Structure 1
Amino acid sequence: MLYASVCHTDLLLANGFPIPVFPRVIGHEGVGVVESIGEGVTGLREGDLVIPTYVAECRTCENCMSEKTNLCLKYPTRYNGLMLDGSSRMTIGGQTAYHALSCSTWCQYMVINLNFLLKIDPKTPLPNATFLSCGFSTGYGAAWKEPMLQNASSVAVFGLGPVGLGAIKGAKSRGAIKVIGIDKNPMKEAKGQAFGMTDFINPEQSDKPIAELVKDLTGGMGVDYSLECTGVPPLINQAIQSTKLGTGKIIQIGAAEEANVNINILELLFGRTLKGSIFGGLKPKTDLPIIFEKCKNREIQLDELKSHEIKLEDGNKVSELLKQPDCVKILINI
């Protein structure tokens, strides 16, 4: 049985970008099975269970050999719908077909570069595998991989979808003692607490700016870290202003609908640092197996993420389900 999962972020990526090549895989973003192998491919065979990822790890380039970043120089993620050679290997009705980023979201078949695939243990629970292909793992990695996030840190997490819930768990795993979750949906409070949140802010229950509410919970100082998981432009500035003067660090995880947003530069000039994060800084082949092991050992409880499960033929219900206040992740049973 194959599975895919969706959340609000997944839908933003489903409008038709593409990817690189090689093995052809059955499945959606989440988990799939290798159907056939291209020339020169090693390390995979037909029938292997794999996760397609939108970040590659060649383990040979300068970046992959470094601990500073997870962005491969040799096989960069493509946003223009084409593979690394500038072509698309897929057509529908004689017209060029494009793939979402580097993992063909919403395709039953994909052509994908070997370096964008992670082979996994066939005993791995498939729902867990699809939950960790993006979403939760992105938020978890952004906190877990951040080298400066030390014990006794204070953290504010903006947006408690799967990414934000992952950020809460990642922060707690690094020893954060105060983790403030921020979401206008009151039903997210219980979810945040399940992953280790210590305080909850619902912005709609106060006339104060979010940054002031965060400072009220931190003795007027602000937090050491803000993890912004929504991409909503006004919240980016609130995340910046929520951090400590001189040392605050903001990790931007959410992708804004607009490429350009207005940033309060004065807040950054006063010693704060704004850092972007793709896939939470995770290296798929190096880091995802560690997270899988944490799930296996029950250090991470992924069961809290699944709020709905549907069959593939009911896929048209996804948009309506995402509007439900209790929706976190929808598992699609293919």
Structure 2
Amino acid sequence: MSTAGKVIKCKAAVLWETKKPFSIEDIEVAPPKAHEVRIKMVATSVCRSDDSVVAGNHPTPLPAVLGHEGAGIVESVGEGVTSVKPGDKVIPLFSPQCGNCRICKHPEGNLCVTSSAHVHGTMSDGTTRFTCKGKPIHNFVSTSTFSQYTVVDEMAVAKIDAASPLDKVCLIGCGFSTGYGSAVKVAKVTPGSTCAVFGLGGVGLSVIIGCKTAGAARIIAVDINKDKFAKAKELGATECINPLDYSKPIHEVIQEMTDGGVDFSFEVIGRIDTMMSSLLSSHASCGVSVIVGVPPNSQSLSVNPLLLLLGRTWKGAIFGGFKSKDSVPKLVADFMANKFPLEPLITHVLPFEKINEAFELLRSGKSIRTVLTF
């Protein structure tokens, strides 16, 4: 029996308040309105950004259905939807692409200006599609993948290869693309270059994959957790160093290792101090340093302009600089063509109901990516 046009009752992980576990609840998911798409989720992975909301470091309206790194199958579409149809495999896009705004038309920009509505925890029309116990439940960054069904705007969904394994390509919805794109698209890593990557979580390891794919000759991985070094080397790191092993600042160590600094450095932690270390690790005259990690809310740093005046470039980007709707299908196609691996990033696969266990694995540093299956 078709569910199109009907309210669907299903399970979702609702975050009622910060610093509390997710609660598996029975919710109602309304049908998609015009230019909206309802998706039956198949897999979603757990990202540090979701945990930032739980910790209270990333303010978002609550209660909410979080999750933004998932993949599923279109269940139904609203009036006027043309880019996807029921039965299509898709990835929801936390960084939408309307195609019409100034940034979407800019050759390098990718942070669509129409996505600003989503920070309020609603769809584009200012309402939500979720209810639980008679109360409206907020959406999260236009995706809300921690639910058996979700509704997204058409500009926030990409159709992908029908043969793609959704329990793997879900990583392309955020973590992998953010790291990989920071190397190949934002920094534009060059063949034979030297790189330093600060932070070896799922996104940092994806930066390493990007550096290797781009042909970097030397990739220095930096982390205080030595347990992450073996995986980093498996994915392309040539050396791994722990700042705690040295009596001098780590940027001085890297400068000595690389004749004054690396060509490309990446901060993939989200700390003010490591952002400075990463910047100083890049060569003063020709280095490019990219901020990938999201800093704590309302923090700023003071920088001597001379650090940039001699020729350094300091930059950052959301979602690896990729225009999401255009790039996600191509990234899935590249994965299917074995141009990069995703499997090494997935350390755990759990049923959706064990979402709190997945977050404990993340917080304890025991997982890279945990995929939850519905």
The TM-score normalised by the length of structure 2 is 0.80
The residue number in structure 1 matching 2:302 is 263
Deviation per CA, 1:230-258: give whole Å up to 9, x if none. Answer: 11111011111111113322211111122
The residue number in structure 2 matching 1:222 is 261
Number of corresponding residues: 325
Instruction: Give the AA of the match of 1:62.
Output: R
Instruction: Tell me if structure 2 keeps the 8 A contact 1:187–1:325.
Output: no
Q: Distance in 2 between matches of 1:111 and 1:61?
A: 22
Q: Distance in 2 between matches of 1:294 and 1:125?
A: 13
- Secondary structure, aligned partner of 1:149: coil
The residue number in structure 2 matching 1:317 is 357
The residue number in structure 1 matching 2:28 is none
Q: Distance in 1 between matches of 2:102 and 2:309?
A: 31
Match for 1:299 among 314, 317, 339? 339
The residue number in structure 2 matching 1:128 is 168
Instruction: Give the AA of the match of 1:205.
Output: D
Do residues 206 (structure 1) and 206 (structure 2) align? no
The residue number in structure 2 matching 1:174 is 214
- Secondary structure, aligned partner of 1:227: strand
Q: Distance in 2 between matches of 1:160 and 1:196?
A: 12
Instruction: Give the AA of the match of 2:192.
Output: A
Deviation at residue 164 of structure 1 after TM alignment: 0.7
Structure 2, unaligned runs of 5 or more: 1-40, 62-66
Q: Distance in 1 between matches of 2:188 and 2:155?
A: 29
Instruction: Tell me if structure 2 keeps the 8 A contact 1:28–1:107.
Output: no
Instruction: Tell me if structure 2 keeps the 8 A contact 1:3–1:332.
Output: yes
RMSD (Å), alpha carbons: 2.3
The residue number in structure 1 matching 2:190 is 150
Deviation per CA, 1:93-131: give whole Å up to 9, x if none. Answer: 333321221211423332211010011222101122212
Q: Distance in 1 between matches of 2:337 and 2:276?
A: 38
Deviation at residue 202 of structure 1 after TM alignment: 1.1
The residue number in structure 2 matching 1:159 is 199
- Secondary structure, aligned partner of 1:54: coil
Identity over aligned pairs, percent? 37
Deviation per CA, 1:172-212: give whole Å up to 9, x if none. Answer: 22222111111111121111112211111111222221211
Residue 85 to residue 77, structure 1, CA distance change in 2 (3 Å): closer
Do residues 240 (structure 1) and 300 (structure 2) align? no
Q: Distance in 1 between matches of 2:304 and 2:120?
A: 30
Instruction: Give the AA of the match of 1:60.
Output: N
Residue 13 to residue 100, structure 1, CA distance change in 2 (3 Å): farther
- Secondary structure, aligned partner of 1:132: helix
- Secondary structure, aligned partner of 1:64: helix
Deviation at residue 322 of structure 1 after TM alignment: 1.8
Q: Distance in 2 between matches of 1:13 and 1:127?
A: 24
Q: Distance in 1 between matches of 2:314 and 2:154?
A: 33
Report the more deviating stretch, 224-233 or 41-50.
41-50
Q: Distance in 2 between matches of 1:123 and 1:174?
A: 26
Report the more deviating stretch, 137-146 or 286-295.
286-295
The TM-score normalised by the length of structure 1 is 0.89
Deviation at residue 28 of structure 1 after TM alignment: 6.7
Report the more deviating stretch, 60-69 or 95-104.
60-69
Do residues 35 (structure 1) and 55 (structure 2) align? no
